Amino acid sequence: MRAKSILIGAGLAAAAALSGCTTGSAFQASPFDYSGITDASYRIPPVPTYKVDRKYLRQIVPYSTAEQPGTIFVDTGAKFLYYVLGDGKAVRYGIGVGKAGFEWHGTAHVAMKREWPDWHAPPQMIVRERRENGRIIPAHLEGGLKNPLGARALYLFNKGGDTGYRLHGTPEWWTIGRAVSAGCIRLMNQDIIDLYNRAEIGAKVIVT
């Protein structure tokens, strides 16, 4: 959408019993948690991971790059986001990406981070949804479980300023691995919280 996190606690990570996928010898399975959590008084429901393609579950994988640890790579074709750890490894997350005609590629940086952010619909989105789908969408939604930006949002800026694109959460876990959004990169709420806690303001983001 064009309007368009370290784990929530080390305890959650230690207690996680779910293993990520192993689609071949190139990947190292790593346990991460997708259970229900309470965050800022909101109860985020668990993700039924047995219904999610295991390759899209958060896991540590081999990843070689000349970029510094803390860099974020978004592979829109494969539907993966990588957070570079260094030493040839990264945390990989499954993502949902923009539908045809709404894609964005380039280099940006994380300029802002928000917990349970408000969402503001661009005027063109309001017009487009009314014209093409007969839907009347609100111009503004306060943060919460039904907010399109989910539990967290990272705002991407480049030399021209705000790109209008976000890395954000979603309660719609079934859309991960698909081209469904109006441009923004969506992660499951448990994953965006993990990424949010890892990523620093100013982090480089490369979208391909």
Please count the other Cβ atoms lying within 10 Å of the Cβ belonging to residue 41: 7
Q: Is 40 left (phi over 0), alpha (psi -120 to 50) or beta?
A: left
- Catalytic residue list contains 140: no
Token reading at 67: 């970029």
Judged by DSSP in three states, 44 sits in strand
Catalytic residue status for 184: yes
CA 183 to the chain's CA centroid: 12
* DSSP per-residue string spanning 70-88: T-EEEETTTTEEEEEEETT
Dist. CA 25–CA 125, nearest whole Å? 43
Q: Which of 21, 105, 120, 184 is catalytic?
A: 184
Contact 5, 168 (CB under 8 A): no
| Candidate list 21, 109, 140, 168, residue with the active-site label | 168
Q: What six digits make up the tokens of 113?
A: 């981070």
Q: Write the CB contacts of 43 (distance below 8 Å, at least 6 apart in sequence).
A: 36, 37, 145
Q: Which residues are marked as active site?
A: 168, 184
